[in-house]
Structures are given as structure tokens and as C-alpha cells.
Amino acid sequence: MISDIQVMIAGYAGDGVLFTGNVLGKILKRQGWEVVTYRDFPSNIRGEAMNYTIRASLNKIYSRGDYIDVLMAFNCDAILRHIKSVGENGVILCEGSVTESVRLSPKKGRTFHKFPMRELAKKNFRSEIFKNTILLGGLCYILDLDMKIIREVLSEVFLKRKGKEIVEKNIQALRLGCDEAEKIIKEEERHSLEERPDKDRLFLSGDEAIALGALAAGCRFFAAYPICPATEIWQWLLKHIHKFNGLVVQTEDEIAAINMALGAAYSGVRAMTSTSGPGASLMMEGFSLAGMAEIPIVVAHVQRVGPSTGLPTRPEQSDLNQWVFGAHGDFPRIVLSPGTIEECFYFMADAFNLAEKYQCPVILLTEQNYGQNFYTVEKFDLSRVSIDRGMLLSQDELLKIEDYKRYALTENGISPRVVPSMANGIHMVEGNEHDEKGYRDEDEEIRIKMMNKRMTKLNIAAKDVIPPKLWGKEESDIGIIGFGSTICPIREAMDQLEEKGISTKYLQVRTLWPFSAAEVEEFMSSCNTVFVVENNYSGQLSRLIQGQGVECSRVHKINKYSGHTFRPVEIAESMLGVLEQ
């Protein structure tokens, strides 16, 4: 019995690849399996090649696997493009016939079948659109899926939007696909996993987890401008935030988005915005204002490939510098980096709590790989979410204060905060340097005191942020360091190395600023060899480590900047290359 399968659906943009993949992912999740998706699509609506990989397993999995077991292609070009990734005994189904040169490619045991989904759809339903459900029918046979589950998922997808008749037609198309596949697929070509109960699990993307996390954490105002791959966050929130008396505003640009969020946060509402690289560049000015005026806001940044417009729908980790070092002036900021879908959810509450406790901007930095891919996770535990509004005073508390000062100088730098409409609290919020009451002041002594006050908050926050997490064998002397979603291929690579008898450990940095220098230094001193694995060209994390004065002579950088995530085997092989020297 196999425990792991990987399916790829390939075609051109406009073929319905994303839709089919999303439905298949949900079906495989309902089969009780662990599911991870990898959506590889261009920044284009129609015409360019794209594919959707879905991996399902009986075991815990973290990323796409190295090889494809079943390739379903809407055209022969897709076969040529992906044949290298199809594993031994892989099954390939294609709309048209496969040429002889493809058949003769070297890997053993692969089988090819003509599976005319488009033709079947046109002949039986007079509409090409049913090709996608016929494809699902084919997979239903190959993967031995539960027909009841597929019916259930198809009804959920189509009933509300398209009505009963369309559901029935899709179920007919599904049967047709299944029957046609049975005619051509031999029993030994089928890849089936054991069905398991699907209980208390979710199947969602990182963007959706961030949105849900924001809602749970009390975010009630969201302003943003559309940008790949972060838009899903607020599009999802739009469907639900009104139930909590909250609002999403689509602004004219990212400058307006961050400033509107600042206005709402100043009014006492938990407010945030979301963006990606180019939008973040426009937000830098507002980011600096949040630091100076001590306004608690949260920015969720889903990284894509840069510089400039880059590759808008593809993953990279090259915006670390932007938030850790970006914007004019010195001011406190906190940059969190979730490494799992669960952390995308739970870190939102941390982000809002830290923002309000330390009255500074907090950034949640993730990547397209999480933003737009779907993963199975345990249902989130809402009892783990708590709301801490820091030094936000109530009206009663404020009335007891004789001479309220918004920027009162305190030992830890944190001043009690009040919001407009409160009696006895009138003050200024200032982007210029200001005195304790918030009024502009250019006195040298005040300037020094206010700078020290703001920066002191960061020293206190450093002890309160999310520490790095250690994975793997603690006693190993081979260490890996990384942040964000690279944990997925890293953990898979660690398993591959373990099978070869090489134990490793991984330090997942979860707060990029204030940087966990002591923990990283301690980890590095316990290793003979250290690998810093990053999805970027320059090694922004390794430079950050170096900049903190950590001894880095034993560091080997493993970087990928092709617009794709690492395959686990790429990391494992790069590490072996160094270790075998």
C-alpha cells in the first residue's frame, strides 16, 4: 500500500486548472488525507501555461513532493514541460495523443493514455466546460476516490451558484470520466490511499488563515489595494467582517491604505492593511509615521518575486530588508515571520497584541507559497487567542488623570493611550517631533528624550516577541537556519537526510525584528556546519545574522531565486555536496 501521491493538472490559463485543482484538493482532504497544494501560474488571465500540483499523504507532509505520480494534461505541450518531474510508474493522461519522442523518454514504467476530456465534454454535454469534471472523474477512478465525497463537494461548489441542474450534469460528467478511465487504466496503474475519517480539520491557504486570524484577533478595520498575492486576505474578510461590525475599504492606492488604517487605529479600532513588495514600497512613509506617532497598526505582507513588478504570482523571500531596514528615520518596528499555516493564524493575535502593547507597527511577513496554496491543518483552537490592548485607558481611568499626556515619558517608554471622543484626553498625534502632550517641539533635549523613549519600547518588546523554534535532532551538529515557508521543503529535506543516516536540526526564526540574536548565536555555536536556506538571491537572513555580530565563518548559503520554492531534494543535495567535501 502506498502512503503518498502527487497529482499534477496542467494546461493553459483559462482551462480551469485552478478551479479543478481547488475542488480536487477539497475532495482529497475529505478523504481524510494530509493535503498540500502548489499552484504554479503566471500573472496573466488567459493563454499561458500553468499547472496545479496536489500532494496527498497518510503522513504529515509539508511541501510539494519531488515527483509526480499522475499527470493530467489538457495539451501535449504540458507533457513535454513536466515529463522530467513524472516519477517511475507515473501515469500520464492527455487530451491528445502523445508523440513517440515523449514515449521514449528514459524513466521506466511510465504509461501514457489518450484521455479526450474536451472531446467527451463536447460530445456528451455540448459544452467544453465539463472537461474539468470529466478530468475529476478520471482521477476518481485512478485514485479510487469515494464517489459520495465527490458528489458532496460538487454540490457545495455548484448548488448555490449554479443550481441543481448543473450539479446533476456535473455528476453525470464525473461518472463519464470515471467509466472512460476504467476502460483504459489497468489495475496496476491505479494509485490509491486508504480512506480515513476527516474530523476537525481545515483546508485553507495562508492568506485565508491570516484573514481568519485577523478576525479572531479583533481586527475590525481593513484598508487595502488589490495586489497579488495578498488580495485573498481582504477578499475573504469582506464576506465576514460585517458580522463583527467591521469594515473593509478598497483604497485608491497603498499610500491611502496604510494612512486610512492609521486613522482607524488612532480612533481605537484594531486596524490593518495587506500588501506585497511594490505596495509595501508605497507604504514606507506611513510605516515611518506609525513609528513616530506610536500608532498600533498591523501590515500583512505576502512576498512575491521582485524587484519591481517581478513575478507577481510566484514566491520569494526578498522583502525582509524592506521591513527590517526600510523607511526613513529610526523607529521601533516588529517583524514576525510565520512558518506554518497554523502560525499564519495564531500570529495575527500576537501581531495585534504586540502592536497595542508597544504602540508600534507590526509586520506579518509571509510568502506567496503560503498565501495562495492550500494546506490541511487541525481546526484552530480559539481558546489560544487572547486580546491584550496594552496601555489603552478606559474613560474612567482617564478621568482620574489630572493632566493627561499622550506621549508621557515613562520608564519602559510606553505611554497610556486614549482615543478621540474621550473626555479629558484631548491631545495631538504628531508626525513631527513632539513633546509629551504631542505638540510639535524642536528642543534638543526633548528630541533626545523622545527618541530614547520610542526606542526603549523595542528593547522591552525584544523579550516579549516570538522566539525561534527548534526542529529535528538537538544533538546534531549540522544546523539549518531559515524563516517563513522554506520550513516546508527544509523539513522534507531533513527527513530525506535522516533516511541516509544524517541527522540535522533546524532553527526557524519567527521574529525577524527585533532579531533573536542570542538564540541564533547559541544555535550556531552548537553546530559544526550551518546552512542558511533562503528563497532569495542575496541571503537577506544570513546578512541579518551577520549584521548582529554573530560569527558566520561556518555558514553555507543555499539560495533559490527562480520564482519557485525549493524542491526538498534540491536542499538535501546542496547540503550533501558540502557535507561530503
Partner 1 sequence: MKENSYHLHDPTWCRGCGIYGIFAALKKAAASLQIPPERMVIVTGIGCHGRLNNYFNAYGFHGLHGRVLPVAAGVKLANSSLAVLAVSGDGDAYSIGVGHFIHANRRNVNMICIVVDNRVYGLTQGQTSPTSQKGYVSVSSPFGSKETPLDGPRLAIVSGGTFVARGFSGIPEHLTALIIEGMTHNGFSLIEVLSPCVTHNKINTYKWFKEHIVNLDDDTNFSAKNKKKALEVLSDQSKIPIGLLYHEERPSFDDLSLPSDTPIALTKLDVDEKKLDAIMKDFM
Q: Which residues of this protein are in contact with partner 1, per CB under 8 A? A: 198, 201-204, 208, 212, 215-216, 218, 220-221, 223, 240-247, 249, 251-253, 255-257, 259-271, 285-286, 289, 293, 379-380, 382-383, 385-387, 389, 419-432, 438-440
Nearer to partner 1, 24 or 558 (CB): 24
Nearer to partner 1, 246 or 413 (CB): 246
**CB 342, min distance to partner 1, A:** 13
**Across the strands, what pairs with 506?**
471, 480
Which grid cell is 337?
515571520
**CB 353, min distance to partner 1, A:** 12
Q: Provide long-range contacts, Cβ within 8 A and 24+ apart, for 459-465.
A: 459/514, 460/358, 460/412, 460/413, 460/414, 461/332, 461/334, 461/354, 461/357, 461/358, 461/360, 461/514, 462/514, 464/354, 464/357, 464/358, 465/334, 465/336, 465/354, 465/511, 465/514, 465/516
Nearer to partner 1, 289 or 465 (CB): 289
Q: What string of DSSP letters covers 93-120?
A: EESSPPPHHHHT-S-TT-EEEE--HHHH
Q: What string of DSSP letters covers 126-189?
A: S-GGGHHHHHHHHHHHHTT--HHHHHHHHHHHHHHHH-HHHHHHHHHHHHHHHHHHHHH--GGG
Nearer to partner 1, 86 or 264 (CB): 264
**CB 457, min distance to partner 1, A:** 20
Helix (H, G, I), strand (E, B) or coil at 2: coil
**CB 232, min distance to partner 1, A:** 13
- How far apart CA 57 and CA 39 sit, in angstroms, is 18
**CB 358, min distance to partner 1, A:** 18
- How far apart CA 238 and CA 498 sit, in angstroms, is 45
Q: What string of DSSP letters covers 235-274?
A: HHHHHHGGGGT-EEEE-SSHHHHHHHHHHHHHTT--EEEE
- How far apart CA 214 and CA 234 sit, in angstroms, is 10
Which run of H or E residues covers position 441? none
**CB 66, min distance to partner 1, A:** 28
Nearer to partner 1, 392 or 460 (CB): 392
Nearer to partner 1, 261 or 481 (CB): 261
Q: What are phi and psi of 87, to 5 degrees?
A: -80, 180
Nearer to partner 1, 439 or 537 (CB): 439
Which grid cell is 160?
448555490
Nearer to partner 1, 210 or 512 (CB): 210
> DSSP assignment, residue 83?
G
**C-alpha neighbours within 13 Å on the C-beta side of residue 256:** 9
Nearer to partner 1, 223 or 509 (CB): 223
Nearer to partner 1, 267 or 459 (CB): 267
Q: How far is CA 6 from CA 9, 83, 285, 434, 575, in A?
A: 10, 14, 45, 59, 25
The pairing of beta strand 4-12 with beta strand 49-57: antiparallel
**CB 121, min distance to partner 1, A:** 29
**CB 437, min distance to partner 1, A:** 10
**Across the strands, what pairs with 140?**
none
Nearer to partner 1, 290 or 512 (CB): 290
**CB 208, min distance to partner 1, A:** 7
Which residue matches cell numbers 509595501?
280
**CB 269, min distance to partner 1, A:** 4
Nearer to partner 1, 440 or 447 (CB): 440
**CB 41, min distance to partner 1, A:** 22
CB 288 within 8 A of CB 316: no
**CB 420, min distance to partner 1, A:** 4
Please calculate the CA angle 301-306-309 and round it to the nearest 5 degrees: 95
